Homo-oligomer: A and B are copies of this chain.
Amino acid sequence: MTNKQFSNTEQTVFEELLIHRRDVRGNRFLSSPIAEDTLRKILHAAELSPSVGFSQPWEFVIIKNQQTKQAVADVFAVENTKAEKLFSDEKRKEYAQLKLEGILKTPVNIAVFYRQPDGPVLGQTSMPDMGEYSVVCAIQNMWLMARALNIGMGWVSILDPEKVKDILKIPEERKDKLKLVAYLCFGHVDEFLNQPELEILKWDTRKPISDYLHQESYTQQ
């Protein structure tokens, strides 16, 4: 048993961490390497993550090889061209100017997979997506730990998951059991922006909390 009580000062440190965490894009990353001890701490944050039924349903692939990154960057380019076409004329112009990934520029990429269980998992029987959600909790822990270590992280999602599985040589018989949840880029940065880049660029605006906060039920609003 333990009764660790966090102080106001410690709580404020965590609030600062939330405030200063950013999704980092290619234009901010430096190519200098990440120390092994730093990478180990980021992975340790994933180990300390909650998981439904203590199932720990995550798999991580650490990628440093430039050829592998190039193959993933090629998949991004194809998907990004498709994505651009989905937006209205005005937004499409804006979209085309955005730098949305740092795959090649960062020294370390990490692909994160959800591993489907073989039997029932405690807590996942009524809500089957709980396993994936555990993997996302681990990613958020890694993201915050990276920021605490002054390392930037960018989450790349404009990817065809099946092509990424091929690039990472997932054996045929395991492909159905593994789902790509995230492709993460880690690196030192020149600076961290003080707002989300998409907010600065006015891609979208921050919603007031009243837009999405309900008291007791929906119809009591």
A interface with B by C-beta (< 8 Å): 1-6, 10-11, 13-21, 23, 41, 43-45, 47-50, 52-56, 58-65, 68, 79, 82-83, 86-87, 95, 98, 100, 115, 120, 122-127, 129-130, 132-133, 136-137, 139-141, 143-145, 147-150, 155, 157-161, 167-171, 174, 180-182, 191-194, 196, 198-199, 203-204, 206-207, 209, 212-220
Q: Are B198 and A157 in contact (CB under 8 A)?
A: no
Nearest chain B CB to A129's CB is how many angstroms away? 7
Q: How far is the CA of A103 from the CA of B100 in the complex (A)?
A: 41
Enumerate chain B residues within 8 angstroms of A167, measured Cβ to Cβ: 217
* Structural contact, A83 and B125, CB atoms closer than 8 A: yes
| Residue pair A125, B158 in contact (C-beta under 8 Å) | yes
Majority SS at the chain A contact face: mixed
Q: Beyond the given A50-B143, A52-B157, A144-B144, could you list 11 further A-B residue pairs with CB under 8 A, ordered by the A residue number?
A: A4-B16, A56-B207, A61-B214, A61-B217, A62-B214, A64-B216, A83-B125, A126-B157, A126-B159, A126-B161, A133-B182
